[in-house]
Structure 1
């Protein structure tokens, strides 16, 4: 009996043939790709033709073509084609045989990504635009295991990248066939599509004048030449220079023509946030200098590894978040102007921002906080005092937005996308609700509990200058008390805000009733009127750490 796709979504198949039989069979449809070469043929020039002829002649010189031969010659061909196209293509090519970057298990033969980024295999999966698989001549393009292999890879990427559509191709030394996988509208299932098979060459006797053909010897008959099928290669080469809309790569909100990204090597995925995805960068220029030095001195290679400058890039999930990114840039500049030394201790410096606000590059990699010592908590109070004196309210202080430098010496507050600045004489400001709810104050939660969550309007809340302090106090208790931490984590797993709020109110009401030190800190925050009151908070914080919270 045919099984549905959705019932098998999370299975990693033991064989590509099984994947084809259970998932693809019955969902594979034909599509036309000939149209891609129907116009704009100026790009198919003599230089491109010669590269193709050299590729085919190299294959024709081999007595038998193995997959390794096909891979090597195809790598050379693609390198030449993409180099010749230069600004006409958005793609760069990666030979990913043996890399196992897909589910840490699979190694597609040919991977294409946007040319302005350079990534390591650890996070290559996030950046794949399209794929290709190479097969020996004795493997038919109609074999279900070959088709299943490519389509399984494409589906994994489609799910991981949450994009609507992805292309690929199968190539042996005789034919090429194009495929794509597309997400069904309003569904978690997929449809699979294949083009017809296109010959890449005609194998025929070398053409001679008609009056000489009868003189061809047996030895001459054995000498065949590859005559490339121009229409096929027009389709394939045009496939390499299609626009962004054709490839439907929407995973990361980046511009393939933004050469600023080409200065860095993207090495690791650091995490996902509400509005962004974050990756570790290495400065490519600095990296190349080290490599040149290290080639001359192996011992220096070990010493200079740590000299490579690490950066962090935060990429917005879509253009709808550009205002938050531009806001973070503006707030960070203001914080830096006030006191450069404190800024360096408390925050993360932005060294570049894209003009459209779709990504930010930060100066140094930070590390997550596994715990929160008294000294670190006092440093956190100092950060909030700095915001208080700057008339800035962060609004999104949560554990994920508290980091430390590599030494662990400095606590850093990150992600100012929802932050705002108060006018100099204001103590509060009414704004649409954004940022943290889970770690907000009891008053804020109580306000949210009265909101009709099925309405279409965006509710507003009057944020005051103590809002961040109360969030910090919540986080301190969360970090130092296992009981509170367990309860709060279980609340976070609830799907809706409407479910979370009454549970959070109950939790913090119990903590306040059972712990006098916590209540005392809350009272101090409520009465806080000037920056000198922050020292009182730090003194009371010591008492909190000396008492185990129930």
Structure 2
């Protein structure tokens, strides 16, 4: 305390204290004002972001952003296919050159196109085909193509027109790798993990360019990308036997949007009446008439699309290809049990054609995810080590209750087959424990592997 302070009277000190208290109250008031300003600024910033989002969607109509829209928004939409097309597709779709993409197909053979031409030769007088007839025709032809030229193909055709396996949607046909065995009558939802591409069929007198048709196919493609999170793009096609058009959806995960593309429309059959009317005073032989009716160029393009190397379709959900042995001759993929960081786990069930008494009723197969392919062999080897450690642990009785061992694994290390002492029963109360134990093994392995990677760093 200074000499001047000691000379102040009590009244002066009280007045001084009152002034200080007033200053504090003023500062507190100013602080509240600043806080209110900050809140208003935050609200204004949020509003600006929302407005910018609206403007951004408007700008999608121009420049390189003209063909994009948010993936989650389109999936949550409850509108019909026509309105969906109007709202999300019409202004957001670009052209792509499917012809150049299919030019490097080494699998095409002239006998393939001859087989198709011979089949359609009697069709010159057919004017109208129902959607059912169109699909059954394609189904028969594609089946014969895949059977006869198995070594030239990587796909398998499935009629899925009656099965709501894809987010309650029913693509008319779905293609999977030819070594995948899934009974679509029973194992519907698991099919969505393995779909390579899809197609939609229309009756011959219906345009494939209708807004409803395109909107329907686009929703199918987005649904596939939404399920197969690591996939970059997926193909589809629309056809009414007279014409065919190809589509592609690309998942730009870093943008949170999907890009849509469509090809030119290709003629599968020339209009014979138009050909004849444009050839006045000309006489054509039966062979020439057939060539005019059956458009070899259009069908060649479609056959090329079906017989491309598996890498063309860029399926990148699981690290598998069409030449691997996935036990499809003995077991069906029944259901998806779950997934870890590196892989997905599925239940295999003995199929009707497998009469072997040596094979159990079920197996569990673990398949490496494609985005983990660079280190899959190391990861699988580490898992084998973890399983060996678990068998020696104090909880080994629990281990033996569920697992027999790793029965088999691929030379590449991207798949391994597990056998259970306790066979799976879909009505068993113990199925929950079985699944939980699978994930216990997976999680323990991933924790240890993660720690090792950190130590290496």
Is the structural similarity TM-score above 0.5?
yes
Q: For residues 281 and 37 of structure 1, do their structure 2 counterparts lie closer, same or farther at Cα, with a shift above 3 Å needed?
A: same
**1:153 and 2:153 matched:** no
**1:352 and 2:396 matched:** no
Q: Could you tell me whether the CA contact under 8 Å between 2:146 and 2:156 is conserved in 1? A: yes
- Residue by residue, what CA displacement relative to the aligned partner does 1:28-80 show, whole Å, maximum 9, x if unpaired? 0001111245355673222x123212442354454521001101111001001
**292, 312, 331: which is aligned to 1:246?**
312
The aligned residue for residue 188 of structure 1 is: 256
Shift of 1:129: 0.2
Shift of 1:322: 3.3
SS in 2 for 1:53: helix
Question: Max radius of gyration: which structure?
Answer: 2
- Residue by residue, what CA displacement relative to the aligned partner does 1:373-407 show, whole Å, maximum 9, x if unpaired? xxxxxxxxxxxxxxxxxxxxxxxxxx97436xxxx
The aligned residue for residue 91 of structure 2 is: 26
Question: Which is bigger in relative contact order (C-alpha 8 A, separation at least 6)?
Answer: 2
Q: Could you tell me whether the CA contact under 8 Å between 2:134 and 2:204 is conserved in 1? A: no
Shift of 1:280: 0.9
Q: For residues 203 and 401 of structure 1, do their structure 2 counterparts lie closer, same or farther at Cα, with a shift above 3 Å needed?
A: same
The aligned residue for residue 116 of structure 1 is: 179
**226, 234, 257: which is aligned to 2:300?**
234
The aligned residue for residue 384 of structure 2 is: 329
The aligned residue for residue 433 of structure 1 is: 451
The aligned residue for residue 363 of structure 1 is: 419
Shift of 1:148: 0.8
The aligned residue for residue 268 of structure 1 is: 335
**1:315 and 2:371 matched:** no
User: Whole-Å Cα distance in 2 between the matches of residues 246 and 180 of structure 1?
Assistant: 12
- Count of residue pairs brought into register by the alignment: 369
**348, 363, 382: which is aligned to 1:281?**
348
The root-mean-square deviation of aligned C-alpha atoms, in Å, is: 3.8
User: Whole-Å Cα distance in 2 between the matches of residues 229 and 255 of structure 1?
Assistant: 32
Q: Could you tell me whether the CA contact under 8 Å between 2:157 and 2:173 is conserved in 1? A: yes
Q: For residues 84 and 224 of structure 1, do their structure 2 counterparts lie closer, same or farther at Cα, with a shift above 3 Å needed?
A: closer
Unaligned runs of 5+ in 1: 292-303, 373-398, 404-411, 421-430, 435-456, 462-550
Normalising by the residue count of structure 2, what TM-score does the alignment of the two structures yield? 0.70
The aligned residue for residue 443 of structure 1 is: none
Q: Could you tell me whether the CA contact under 8 Å between 2:243 and 2:266 is conserved in 1? A: yes
Shift of 1:329: 2.3
SS in 2 for 1:78: helix
Shift of 1:19: 1.6
SS in 2 for 1:233: helix
Q: For residues 53 and 116 of structure 1, do their structure 2 counterparts lie closer, same or farther at Cα, with a shift above 3 Å needed?
A: same
**114, 119, 130: which is aligned to 1:66?**
130
Alignment of 1:298-309 (within 5 A): 309=361
Unaligned runs of 5+ in 2: 1-53, 59-68
Q: For residues 272 and 419 of structure 1, do their structure 2 counterparts lie closer, same or farther at Cα, with a shift above 3 Å needed?
A: closer
